[in-house]
Amino acid sequence: MKIPSVKGFHDVLPGESARWSRLEATAREVFLRYNFAEVRLPIVERAELFRRSVGETTDIVEKEMYAFEDRDGTEVTLRPEGTASAVRSYVEHTMQAAEPVTKLFYFGPMFRRERPQRGRLRQFSQIGVEVFGRDDPGIDAEVLLLMSDLLRAFEIESGEIGVNTLGCSECRPGFRSALVAWGESKRDAICGDCQRRLEQNPLRLLDCKQPGCEALRETAPKMLDHTCLACGEHFARVRQLCEFQGVELALRPYMVRGLDYYCRTAFEVTAQGLGSQNAIGGGGRYDGLVRSLGGPAVGGIGFALGVERLALVLEAQGVEPPSTTPEFFVAPLGSAAEEHAFALAHRLRSAGTGVEVDAGGKSLKSQMRRAGKTGAPYVIILGEDEVAQQTITVRDMEARADRRNVVGLDTNLEDLRAALQAARSTEEQA
Ligand code: HAM
């Protein structure tokens, strides 16, 4: 009996995985330019870490965490996101002692028990960054610039960065009261979930996806109209610094995030090609978080992008995953040729190129069929004649021509490439 994978947990198959590797390699390159260093964080954490950071009343903590009691009684969870883990690691290793500004990046799977749909999985992968130790608008702008550079490097064409300010402990309570008053006045019109949010987490009123609530939102108060002077100036400066660098930010006055730790600058990146799950990334500032998790009173800001969603957007844009095709396919005919094929393949691979080698027991026709499927541009044919003459025949798949005796059987990669190139040039001139 076959055992299927678990709902919401997917394989990333060869071909698609090449796209993932490229996304990660590109991200790593861009992060290093901004002086971020990689941290590899564990997948299992104490459940309390997310309850205290992401927030008790968020969907993630209330409904979506894969939390369980370990055999020793510790309540643990598969991490639903990376920020809390990064903060825990920063605090646990007193990173601020080594460098007052700590810039970290991470890749890896996160787990949320959501209802699976296109672009929404129960195990998904994030590319994330976090900066600890700065709370000035300059670093917010730097992080937004980094996000914009990253999207360009990924070749995402439709990415739009939406920003909002979520205020701070000074001004948020005033905004919260205004929001509650507004919610109360609409109590009969809002959905049941929003009536509950009104009591527990009124900011989330702005995030409701029910059509009725969405339509009402236009009349809701905006945080931007309730910021204290410092938050207002901070936000204005962040936007100005981005504007100076030509990074466009779309103001989203009703955007709130699904995690409670944010303050001041918050942002979300959307792109076309995803349908309703159109957020490919999100992030923001979280100034009280490090302190609340037992660390120093330092500011923090970061973001995460979802790799599955990036891949879907690229696919919708028609960007092919990078090729993993070998340069040569070696087809030996007969057992004597097989050993030579084996040695030649090893020599070429050691020199740095991709080679697939077939077993000698098959016909030329069946090997050519397999060679065609690999997409290798050159097939090296080693038959009895070739072995006897210590030479090779290469079929140039693109030029549809056989190159006989172009090099000896003991060739190296450089000579082989040069000979194949020369054969093509001669042909083109003829
Ligand atoms: P988030 O907005 O919850 O933020 O997730 C960031 C991104 O992860 C989303 O925009 C989306 O691309 C991807 N994602 C989230 N849930 C799923 C899912 N179920 N299936 C597929 N992709 C998903 C955070 O996680 C914050 N920790 C970001 C952050 C870093 N804020 C500050 N620093």
Per-residue pLDDT of the chain in tens (430 residues, 90 and over written 9): 999 999 999 999 998 999 999 999 999 999 999 999 999 999 999 999 999 999 998 899 999 999 999 999 999 999 999 999 999 999 999 999 999 999 999 999 999 999 999 999 999 999 999 999 999 999 999 999 999 999 999 999 989 999 999 999 999 999 999 999 999 999 888 999 899 888 888 988 898 888 889 889 989 999 999 999 999 999 999 999 999 999 999 999 999 998 999 999 999 999 988 887 789 999 999 999 999 999 999 999 999 999 999 999 999 999 999 888 999 999 999 888 999 999 999 999 999 999 999 987 889 999 999 999 999 999 999 999 999 999 999 999 999 999 998 899 999 999 999 999 999 888 888 7
Domain spans, the chain: 14-171+227-316, 328-419
Asked if residue 258 has its Cβ within 6 Å of ligand 1, the reply is yes
CATH, domain range 328-419: 3.40.50.800
Q: Indicate which residue's Cα is closest to atom 17 of ligand 1.
A: 120
Rounded CA separation 202/311 (Å): 34
| Contact of 52 with 292, CB cutoff 8 Å | yes
Between the CA of 358 and the centroid of ligand 1 the distance, in Å, is 44
Beta strands in 219-325 (DSSP E): 249-251, 263-270, 279-285, 300-306
pLDDT of 135? 96
Closest atom of ligand 1 to CA, residue 84: 27
Place of tokens 């990078």: 322
pTM, entire model:
0.92
pLDDT tens-place string over residues 310-359:
999 999 999 999 888 999 999 999 888 999 999 999 999 999 999 999 98
Q: Indicate which residue's Cα is closest to atom 23 of ligand 1.
A: 306
Using DSSP's 3-state secondary structure scheme, residue 324 falls into coil
Range 14-171+227-316 has CATH code 3.40.630.30: no
